[in-house]
A and B are shown apart, each in its own frame.
Chain A
């Protein structure tokens, strides 16, 4: 197998003021193979989310290399990064991050529209909403949906452009245990059926146990106990 995602000696420093900075990543390295479902665990402040955001082309790094789907992303410009986010990457967030003024289907179709699907965006959105069992709630706005339903809509949005990888930042962090179990099973199913790679930052052992492997982080590096 070839690595779909690779991070090599990734450093990230947040400058908060003159001589006031935080080294969030201090040389983190990891590889994720295509089709894997991987959890990244570690205490708060260990750099999990920062690494996830860098791998997902949402943030930049100070030094090191990041490769995604055969391209080195840390040297790409804004336009190429946007293209990568559109086509190769999907995101799921802890707080769902759906646009509150749009219905479930409009939220999902939005990602398809950005990817240039035009009039086919709504049809594509309907298909993935059906896939996550939310077809009957497609015209509801986020405040009218339960947490589990909102996260399913977010998964549908992440899936709509058939990305190679879906990054999840605490995807079950805001859910009760029943909804959490449902979301984990759904992600596992999608991973097996479509081969979509999942990289999930989590504190939830249920999520970790459903994954193929767990990557541990501490103080901005990937610790050796990760296989």
Chain B
């Protein structure tokens, strides 16, 4: 992305950008650019060297530190240069009718301390026709609606995994009970109580849950690393595996195992010893 700015808001911006090399762009730096971290390799940028943007050569005056956000994949230039490039790319019919100095895609308004930005946006909308001003809440909403969809997809996958996982444990435990019916009969014949049979099978279900949880955590962790590495090109770092999440997910898998194993365990414990012993 090419970003052009008249630099007047630089001192007012709360999101401060730092530089790996070089310096910030000034309004007088016509024909110069600052390059985002992810584009350094692609453009072959180095401070003092030249890069080609939309067929034009620019001198690199600075390279940005990685921010893991949009600036990583942006090239910054003066407003005049950006306006000129923008108009150059328009179809010929339009180009002659547009004055480059009139082109701007957005204005950033910095309120003074104590001013309500929402009220300010409202006031601008009322006072300036043909302009749509939005406050921070609109920006938040925009971000929230994007993450909402992503969250819904992830929750959906998690829910399906939960149901499939739960059914798998129930199926495994039911099979195990069925295969070991005779063993249950023997255990009861030699003195096992219903509770001891339930505890044995629940413990087995918990171990199945633990193995599944640890394997799932490992695979998820690898998938998160891969997804984050792939997303790096577009400055996306979507997944974060924290110790709390790791412990929580394994504990949840164990609990799921125990809950899913409950019915087969109770069924096993209620078997009459002689019925279980006769099972072939």
Q: 10 nearest interchain CB pairs?
A: A86-B191, A114-B191, A59-B274, A111-B190, A58-B273, A58-B274, A97-B186, A82-B193, A53-B274, A91-B189
Tell me if A85 and B272 are in contact (CB < 8 A): no
How many Å from the CB of A188 to the closest CB on chain B?
A: 23
Tell me if B196 and A114 are in contact (CB < 8 A): yes
Number of interchain pairs (Cβ within 8 Å): 55
Docked Cα-Cα span, A97 to B192, in Å, equals 15
A164: Cβ under 8 A from any B Cβ: no
Which of chain B's residues has its CB closest to A54's CB? B274
**Listed A/B pairs (8) with beta-carbon separation below 8 Å:** A58-B188, A58-B273, A58-B274, A58-B277, A59-B272, A85-B189, A86-B191, A114-B187
Docked Cα-Cα span, A100 to B272, in Å, equals 21
Tell me if A99 and B272 are in contact (CB < 8 A): no
Tell me if A161 and B274 are in contact (CB < 8 A): no
Docked Cα-Cα span, A124 to B127, in Å, equals 95
Docked Cα-Cα span, A104 to B183, in Å, equals 15
Q: Within A86-115, which residues are at the interface with B (CB < 8 Å)? A: 86-87, 90-91, 93, 97-99, 110-111, 114-115
Tell me if A97 and B277 are in contact (CB < 8 A): yes
Docked Cα-Cα span, A123 to B189, in Å, equals 22
Contacts of A79 in B (CB 8 A): 193
How many Å from the CB of A124 to the closest CB on chain B?
A: 13
Interface size on B, residues (CB 8 A): 17
Docked Cα-Cα span, A91 to B190, in Å, equals 7
Q: A91-B190, A114-B193 are in contact. List 12 more A-B contacts (CB 8 A).
A: A56-B189, A58-B273, A58-B274, A59-B273, A82-B192, A82-B194, A85-B188, A85-B189, A85-B273, A93-B277, A111-B190, A114-B192
A78: Cβ under 8 A from any B Cβ: yes
Contacts of A87 in B (CB 8 A): 191
B66: Cβ under 8 A from any A Cβ: no
A48: Cβ under 8 A from any B Cβ: no
> What 0/1 readout, one digit per residue, does chain A (119-163) give for beta carbons within 8 Å of chain B?
000000000000000000000000000000000000001100100
Q: A99-B183, A114-B196 are in contact. Are A157 and B190 (CB under 8 A)?
A: yes
Docked Cα-Cα span, A56 to B274, in Å, equals 10
Tell me if B274 and A110 are in contact (CB < 8 A): no
How many Å from the CB of B269 to the closest CB on chain A?
A: 10
Q: Within B174-191, which residues are at the interface with A (CB < 8 Å)? A: 182-183, 185-191
Tell me if A85 and B190 are in contact (CB < 8 A): yes
Contacts of B185 in A (CB 8 A): 97
Docked Cα-Cα span, A99 to B274, in Å, equals 16
How many Å from the CB of A116 to the closest CB on chain B?
A: 9
How many Å from the CB of B138 to the closest CB on chain A?
A: 65
Contacts of B183 in A (CB 8 A): 99
Tell me if A114 and B273 are in contact (CB < 8 A): no
Q: Within A3-39, which residues are at the interface with B (CB < 8 Å)? A: none
